Structure 1
Amino acid sequence: MSRIVFLLNYPLQNQIDVGHLDVLEASFRNALGEFDEAVVVSPRDNRGYRLGKGIRVISNGWTNPLLYYLSPIKDFWTVWRLARRPETKLIRAFAPTSGFIAGLAGKLAGKPVLLSVHTDESVAARDAGRRWLKSLLLPFAERLSLKMASKIGVISGHVWKYALRRGADPKKVFMHHNFVDVAAFKPHAARARGAPVFVFVGRFTPVKAPLVAVKAFSHVKNAKLWMVGDGPQLEEAKTLAKWLNVDAKFFGRVEHSKLPAVLAKADYFVAPATAGFALIEAFACGLPAAAADLDWASEIVRDGATGCLCVPYNSRSLAEACAKLEKNGGRMAAECRKLAVTEFSLDAFKERELKAYRELIR
């Protein structure tokens, strides 16, 4: 009997809410290629989950806001108890915040820890409006988590450099791109002709800047804007689009399994701020992107080849990038698809993970 323990940095339900549970499930199921059981610790959570044979979810309670800052103590206790068991061979954390807890439990139990780093946590904290105490403690916890980790997977060159600046040992760091299911996300055989369609996919929150997208399309003529997602700024975005006379269609929340059908009917992708998974999913569908020059976007949005970069959170700059795509974007579709298939395939993702597991437990 062998076990891997996954410690999430948010309740599992959060991933369900944004439609990306299948992304986490891919990692959970892939781990069963090396381990007999995958245990998932979901913090601040009292829900029940069934993810299939071999995957067990521990909902780690304490959703009371008064106990919010005590949640890490319970997470540590749960992970440490699991780590002490001889069948537990490896602990995996998906962010430096949970990585601190996983690293401490791993050190005390003598078990290796695989840490994933997806973003610049200081920027994420600022953009998400995190609680002041968490923002204060985060840099300290992040540095310690990077030092305690046995191996560190980063999703981009930008994040690689960030991890090194935060004190990560270069020998521990390896490139572990996000993935896209290129069999599900693929170009449509025949797109309808007419006004070009630009699509935005993301939460309607300031960090994703949906209002910037709407404002930009008051300057982009003879084009349609599709907005996919929901969140606190959804109604404001609808009102703004109406006021600015933008030809916008709001889809609301779309299940991840149905997103390929929406993307395949569009022509271009827009990201006024951070783009996340949706950017590579759009590429897999052959959609060139007008994207903010943030984080890792500049590594794959190559001006004139796979899209156009713009100034983050700037509607005028985004409008100019969209205008460039209208003129030259048609020839970029094949290059976008090629990049998604060669650099972000699910098969390559799975193999990198299994290789990292084997190196750590043998």
Structure 2
Amino acid sequence: MKRIVFLLNYPLQNQVDVGHLDVLMQSFKNALNKFDEAAIISPRDNREYRLGKKIRVKSNGFTNPLLYYLSPLKDFWTLWRLACDSDTKLIRAFAPTSGFVAGLVGKLTGKPVFLSVHTDEAVAARDSGRRPLKSLLVRFAEPLSLKWATKIGVISEHIREYAVRRGADPKKVFLHHNFVDLKKFKPGKGNNKRFVFVGRFTAVKAPLTALKAFKELGEGELWMIGDGPQFTEAKRIAGKNVRFFGSVPHSGLPAILAKCDYFIAPATAGFTLIEAFACGLPAAAADLDWTKEMVVNGKTGYLCKAYDADSLAAAMKKLLKNGVKMRAACVKKSREFSLKEFKKRELKVYGEIIGK
């Protein structure tokens, strides 16, 4: 009997709510190619989940907000009991806080830890409006979680550099992109000069910049996907040929992207950029972080200054002139993020850690 334990850093229900459970489920299924059982610890959660006979979910209580900061203690105790069982061969964590708990348990029990790092924590704190106390705890936990991990998967070269700066051994770090379901995200037949923005309507994602740039461009259509504090203001300043969809579940994105021609990201783009590439949409995107690794001027889109409507409008104008010729290159780039490659990398790492 071989067991892997996944320690999540959020309630599993969060992934259900945003329609991303399929992504997490793929990691669980990949693990079952090497392990007999996957145990999932879902923190601050009291729901019942049935994800499959070999996938066991432990909902880990403390839903009372007053007990929020005690949650890692309960996670530690739950993980400790599982890790002390000789059947548990590997612990997997997805963020600094869960990585800290996983790393500490791993050090005490001798069990290896596979840590995934998805973001620069300073950026995450800014983007999420995180409470100062939590930011302080994360900044403390992150270097230790990186130090204690056996293997560290990062989603971009930008995050690789960040992890090493924060104390990770470069030899432990490897590039492990998320994946795009290429069976769902496919090129459509869009030829309507239609731009699309996907993201939370917050100052960090800059939807108002997108609207100002589109108004300055003066042609085509703009579809706005998302919701948030700036939604009302966005509708107020929107000009002609702008359509608002509100919040759309992840399962609804493929159909929308397939009807568009160009993707725009005035600030941080997120993984939706690659989903847009899979649908053949070149991008006008801010010259930030990992976006610079994906958007190559004149090949898969154009980079612009972040939060700058004039710069974004200029990039959008270039897309109208040259974007059609970039579609094939965008689709080709997205294939680097296929489910097949994602699975291959995970199985390779599991083999390296626990043996063939």
TM bucket by the smaller chain?
A: over 0.9
- The structure-2 alpha-carbon separation of the partners of 1:212 and 1:51, relative to structure 1 and needing over 3 Å to count, comes to farther
Q: Which residue of 2 aligns with 1:255?
A: 249
Mapped contact 1:230–1:252 kept (Cα < 8 A): yes
Q: Which residue of 2 aligns with 1:18?
A: 18
Q: Secondary structure at the match of 2:217?
A: coil
**TM-score in terms of structure 1 length:** 0.94
Q: Which amino acid aligns with 1:60?
A: N
Q: 1:292 aligns with which of 286, 291, 304?
A: 286
Q: Secondary structure at the match of 2:216?
A: coil
> How far apart, CA to CA, are the structure 1 residues paired with 2:147 and 2:337?
28
- The structure-2 alpha-carbon separation of the partners of 1:79 and 1:209, relative to structure 1 and needing over 3 Å to count, comes to farther
> How far apart, CA to CA, are the structure 2 residues paired with 1:262 and 1:129?
29
Gaps (5+ residues) in structure 1? none
> How far apart, CA to CA, are the structure 2 residues paired with 1:236 and 1:49?
39
Q: Which amino acid aligns with 2:100?
A: F
Mapped contact 1:18–1:203 kept (Cα < 8 A): no
Write the deviation string for residues 2-52 of structure 1: whole angstroms up to 9, x where unpaired. 111111111122222322221111111111111111111111122222222
Shift of residue 282 of structure 1?
0.5
Q: Which residue of 2 aligns with 1:210?
A: 207
Q: Secondary structure at the match of 1:45?
A: coil
Counterpart check, 1:229 vs 2:223: no
Shift of residue 271 of structure 1?
1.2
Q: Which residue of 1 aligns with 2:76?
A: 76
> How far apart, CA to CA, are the structure 2 residues paired with 1:223 and 1:157?
34
Q: Which residue of 1 aligns with 2:123?
A: 123
Q: Secondary structure at the match of 1:281?
A: helix
Percent identity over the alignment? 70
Counterpart check, 1:350 vs 2:343: yes
> How far apart, CA to CA, are the structure 2 residues paired with 1:79 and 1:302?
43
- The structure-2 alpha-carbon separation of the partners of 1:109 and 1:158, relative to structure 1 and needing over 3 Å to count, comes to same
Shift of residue 95 of structure 1?
1.3
Q: Which moved more, 1:40-49 or 1:148-157?
A: 40-49
> How far apart, CA to CA, are the structure 2 residues paired with 1:216 and 1:41?
44
Matches within 5 A, 1:1-362: 1-188=1-188, 190-191=189-190, 193-194=191-192, 196-241=193-238, 245-341=239-335, 343-362=336-355
CA RMSD of aligned residues (A): 1.4
Q: Secondary structure at the match of 1:249?
A: strand
Q: Which amino acid aligns with 1:300?
A: M
Shift of residue 177 of structure 1?
1.1
> How far apart, CA to CA, are the structure 2 residues paired with 1:145 and 1:33?
26
- The structure-2 alpha-carbon separation of the partners of 1:206 and 1:78, relative to structure 1 and needing over 3 Å to count, comes to farther
User: What is the total number of aligned residue pairs between the two structures?
Assistant: 355
Q: Secondary structure at the match of 1:287?
A: coil
Gaps (5+ residues) in structure 2? none
Q: Which amino acid aligns with 1:55?
A: I
> How far apart, CA to CA, are the structure 1 residues paired with 2:204 and 2:29?
31
Write the deviation string for residues 221-249 of structure 1: whole angstroms up to 9, x where unpaired. 112111122333333322232xxx24211
Mapped contact 1:119–1:295 kept (Cα < 8 A): no
Mapped contact 1:217–1:246 kept (Cα < 8 A): no
Q: Which amino acid aligns with 1:357?
A: Y
